[in-house]
C-alpha cells in the first residue's frame, strides 16, 4: 500500500478538463453507492466487490459523515468518489475509481482533479487531503496521483486481502 497526500489546495496540478465529465453529489442511501463501488473494485480485488449486505451496513456505520459523489460522463454514471472528514483537519479520499467501461478513455486525470477539488472544498479549513493505493489497483493509478500533486508519505508491504 502506498499512502499519498497534499497539504495545500495549490499543490493540485489539475488535468485538462474533459467535456462531459462532471462530479455530482450522491445521497449515501442511493443504491449506486454500493453497486458502483462493487463494480469499480471487482477487477482489483477491492473488499467492496464482495461485501455482504451486513458488511455494507457496518461500512456505512463506521463513517456516518462520509460523503459521496457520482462521476458522470455525458450523463452516464462513470465512477465514484467518497470522502471522510477527519476531526484533525484531514480529508481522506476513501474511494476513487472509474467503472471498467470508462477505464482507458482518458478520464482519470480530470476525474481525480474533480475529486481533489471537492475534497478541499468539503472542508475549507482542511490542512491535508490524502488517499491510498495498492499495487493491485490499476497500473495508472499511482502515476495519476503523482501527476496531480500527491506525494507518498508511507508505504506498507501488505496489500488488500
For residue 157, the model assigns a pLDDT of: 81
SS3 44: helix
Above pLDDT 70, what percent of the chain?
A: 98
pLDDT in tens, 53-63: 898 888 888 88
For residue 19, the model assigns a pLDDT of: 98
97's grid cell: 475509481
Query: Model-level pTM?
Result: 0.93
Q: Are 21 and 73 in contact (CB under 8 A)?
A: yes
Residue identified by cell 451486513 is: 54
Alpha-carbon distance of 69 to 73, in angstroms, equals 13
The DSSP bridge partners found for residue 151 are 5
Does the structure show a pLDDT above 80 at 145?
A: yes
Residue identified by cell 485538462 is: 16
Superfamily of domain covering 2-155? Gcn5-related N-acetyltransferase (GNAT) (3.40.630.30)
Q: Indicate the pLDDT class of residue 158, thresholds 50, 70 and 90.
A: low
Q: For residue 108, how many other CB atoms are within 10 A of its CB? A: 24
Amino acid at each position: 500500500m502506498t499512502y499519498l497526500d497534499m497539504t495545500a489546495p495549490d499543490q493540485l496540478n489539475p488535468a485538462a478538463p474533459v467535456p462531459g465529465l462532471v462530479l455530482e453529489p450522491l445521497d449515501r442511501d442511493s443504491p449506486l453507492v454500493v453497486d458502483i463501488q462493487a463494480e469499480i473494485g471487482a477487477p482489483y480485488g477491492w473488499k467492496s466487490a464482495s461485501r455482504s449486505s451486513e458488511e455494507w451496513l457496518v461500512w456505512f456505520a463506521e463513517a456516518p459523515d462520509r460523503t459521496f459523489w457520482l462521476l458522470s460522463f455525458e450523463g452516464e454514471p462513470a465512477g465514484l468518489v467518497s470522502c471522510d472528514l477527519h476531526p484533525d483537519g484531514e480529508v481522506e479520499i476513501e474511494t476513487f475509481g472509474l467503472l471498467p467501461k470508462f477505464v482507458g478513455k482518458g478520464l482519470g486525470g480530470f476525474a481525480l482533479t474533480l475529486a481533489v477539488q471537492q475534497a478541499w472544498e468539503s472542508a475549507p479549513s482542511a490542512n491535508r487531503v490524502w488517499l491510498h493505493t495498492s499495487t493491485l489497483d490499476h497500473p495508472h493509478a499511482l502515476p495519476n496521483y503523482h501527476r496531480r500533486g500527491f506525494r507518498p508519505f508511507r508505504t506498507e508491504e501488505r496489500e488488500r486481502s
